[in-house]
């Protein structure tokens, strides 16, 4: 799967999920405490049965926690 990163025309190939070997890891962005954009803050598997994620918070990397939508 090829992803057009940041609308700047830069293409990158997205990695296959190493946990399930079925999904693709997609990058997720967010905003920091000061409102600045944080690009690729987390990566999540596209396979809903897998739910693998990798996330960076204040320099600490966590993985394996299922990312749930906020309501």
Q: Domain limits of the chain?
A: 2-63
List pLDDT tens digits, range 14-68.
Answer: 999 999 999 999 988 877 777 777 778 889 999 989 989 988 887 888 887 766 6
pTM recorded for the entire structure: 0.69
- Return the beta strands (E) in the chain as ranges: 2-5, 10-13, 25-31, 37-45, 53-57, 60-63
What is the 8-class DSSP label of residue 71? -
CA angle 10, 16, 20 (to 5 degrees): 155
Tens-digit pLDDT profile for residues 26-41: 988 877 777 777 778 8
pLDDT at 16: 95
């Amino acid at each position: 799967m090829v992803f057009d990163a940041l609308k700047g025309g830069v293409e990158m190939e997205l990695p296959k999920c190493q946990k399930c070997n079925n999904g693709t890891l997609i990058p997720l962005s967010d905003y920091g405490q000061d409102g600045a954009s944080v690009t690729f803050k987390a990566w999540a598997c596209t396979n809903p049965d897998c739910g693998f994620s990798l996330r960076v918070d204040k320099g600490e990397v966590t993985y394996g926690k299922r990312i749930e939508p906020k309501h």
